[in-house]
Amino acid sequence: MKVSNTSLSTFRDCPYKYYLTSILRIEPLTKSWPLIDGSIFHKAIENYYRLTDANPDQPIAMTDLLNNCIIWRKKKIEDLTTNELVALDTVEREYAKADLPYSDYHKHLVMGMVAGYTLLYPSNEFEEMKPEYATSVILEDYELRIRVDNLVKDAHGHWWVYEYKTTSEDSKERFLDRMLMDWQPYLYTYVLKRLGIDCVGVIYPVMKKPKFYKGLLESDGGFNKRLCKSLIDDALKEQKYFYREPIFKSPDDMVDFEVSLMAMLKDLKFHTLEFLWVQNRNRCFDRREPCEFMAICKESNPYLREECIKTQFKKRI
């Protein structure tokens, strides 16, 4: 049986949600904006690291927004590497495909984040990189799979998991405390060490979404441009919205984590054999937002619950 960081975290939070996502394999028909924005940001930065100047992925279609970004970065187009141009162009193309209400605002937001990121972090700053690195390890009756945003080697020869994070969290300290105790850095480091890779921990480059308010007489277009430009200006100056933090994991951390992981796999096996998928109602409003499966869980009638699944959800590919 295959499991991942996401599926194990879901099982730990709510066994019934695990059943819906990993057994039934369903997802909502529409994605939330944070998921869309995060997905497009990740794709743009993946392209930023994957490409080389000699191997562009596709011709760049210059747009007003892309041209503005180059000007706001205080550079000319010929000063940008192909990596930088393709990362910015990815944002333009992905939001054009999304074609959703308010997409222009979100496009400017993510364009500013990508432009700021590529200003701060050169694509060649590490000795070696493996974008979207995927691997797995066999534990008990499970194949534990991981896919990391990037696996990078520093100047000392140590490997780090490199995970991009976008957040609306105001407090840097609170966000990093959550990342410090999060399941993900433990699991990724543990799997890589099991495979003989000298991984010492996780580096989180964090992009904080700014909280801007539209002026009374400000147009939508003017507000969107101001948002994007503010992110680029911040990367050039204060860096309130961009920071990067390494989280080191010691051998003792790995020993403690292995005990927790094996206990969870044993618990998952028991739930699977007994077909025991109970709801954890304490997680229905995690981070103050309703769970995306709330419509199913609220419905007590089995027939109506099935109808809800058919009409409001789809099979995950």
Torsion angle of alpha carbons 103, 176, 132, 150, nearest 10°? 120
Predicted local distance difference test score (pLDDT) of residue 287: 65
In a domain, 242, yes or no: no
In a domain, 129, yes or no: no
In a domain, 118, yes or no: no
The 3-state DSSP class for residue 115 equals helix
For residue 178, the number of C-alpha atoms closer than 13 Å in the C-beta half-sphere is 10
Q: What is the largest CA-CA distance in the chain?
A: 63
The span from the CA of 20 to the CA of 26, in Å, is 6
In a domain, 216, yes or no: no
Residue 300's domain comprises 2-29+261-315
Q: What is the pTM of this model?
A: 0.88
The span from the CA of 49 to the CA of 124, in Å, is 8
Residue at token pair 């995306």:
292
Q: How many structural domains is the chain composed of?
A: 1
**Cβ-Cβ contacts under 8 Å for 114 (sequence gap 6 or more):** 41, 44, 45, 48, 87, 88, 90, 91
In a domain, 141, yes or no: no
Kindly tell me the sign of the dihedral angle through the C-alpha atoms of 57, 60, 63, 64.
positive
Helix (H) or strand (E) holding 15: helix 15-18
**Single-letter amino acid, residue 295:** A
In a domain, 272, yes or no: yes
In a domain, 305, yes or no: yes
The span from the CA of 191 to the CA of 120, in Å, is 30
Q: Note every long-range contact of 102-108, with CB atoms under 8 Å and residues 24 or more positions apart, other chains counting.
A: 102/33, 104/220, 104/221, 104/224, 105/220, 105/223, 105/224, 105/227, 106/33, 106/36, 106/37, 107/65, 107/224, 108/65, 108/224, 108/225, 108/227, 108/228
Q: For residues 88 and 204, is the Cβ–Cβ distance under 8 A?
A: no
List the chain pLDDT tens, one digit each, 317 residues: 899 999 999 999 999 999 999 999 999 988 888 888 999 999 999 989 986 444 445 556 677 888 888 888 887 777 788 888 889 888 988 888 876 777 889 999 999 999 999 999 998 899 999 999 999 999 988 999 999 999 999 999 999 999 999 988 888 889 889 888 899 999 999 999 999 999 999 999 999 988 888 888 899 999 999 999 999 999 999 899 999 999 999 999 999 999 999 999 999 999 999 999 999 988 888 766 789 999 999 888 989 999 999 999 999 87
In a domain, 283, yes or no: yes
The span from the CA of 86 to the CA of 77, in Å, is 12
